[in-house]
């Protein structure tokens, strides 16, 4: 799926296909983490792999207040323990399918929010 909204100086998502994400200035494979000024492929492959330790190295690269988790074609959700652990890091979370996650990320990024996107 292709997205039209883009900012030249940010990591907005241009398109997402099976296993690939096209950003404004780069192309990366999923699973990956994207924020305003940082992006990387990650070893977090499933929603069960998400915890404080796995997120700390990603969230410390760029200040984020909200983490959107794209879980593929259908939404999957964090457990209550995972949600509490991430809230203790002062990060709010939202899980949704990957296409919706990319659209939400672009919208919040354009609104100058401290946003992170984790695509599984």
Phi, psi angles (nearest 5°) of residue 117 = -125, 125
Q: What is the pLDDT of residues 62-87, one digit of tens each?
A: 999 999 999 999 999 999 999 999 99
Give the C-alpha separation, 50 to 7, whole Å. Answer: 29
Contacts of 3 (CB under 8 A, 6+ apart): 12, 13, 14, 15, 16, 102, 103, 106
pLDDT band at 3 (very low <50, low <70, confident <90, very high): low
Residue 9 confidence (pLDDT): 54
Sorted by where each starts, the structural domains of the chain and their CATH numbers stand as: 13-119 (3.40.1230.10)
pLDDT at 6: 47
Q: Bridge partners of 117? A: 34, 68
Task: Read off the pTM.
Answer: 0.90
């Amino acid at each position: 799926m292709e997205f039209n909204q883009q900012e030249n100086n940010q990591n907005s998502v241009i398109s997402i296909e099976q296993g690939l994400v096209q950003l404004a200035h780069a192309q990366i494979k999923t699973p990956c983490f994207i924020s305003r000024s940082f992006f990387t492929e990650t070893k977090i492959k499933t929603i069960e792999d998400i915890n404080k330790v796995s997120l700390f190295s990603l969230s410390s690269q760029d200040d984020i207040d909200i983490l959107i988790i794209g879980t593929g074609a259908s939404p999957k959700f964090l457990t209550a323990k995972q949600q509490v652990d991430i809230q203790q890091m002062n990060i709010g979370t939202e899980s949704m399918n990957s296409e919706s996650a990319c659209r939400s990320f672009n919208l919040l990024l354009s609104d100058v929010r401290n946003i992170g996107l984790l695509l599984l």
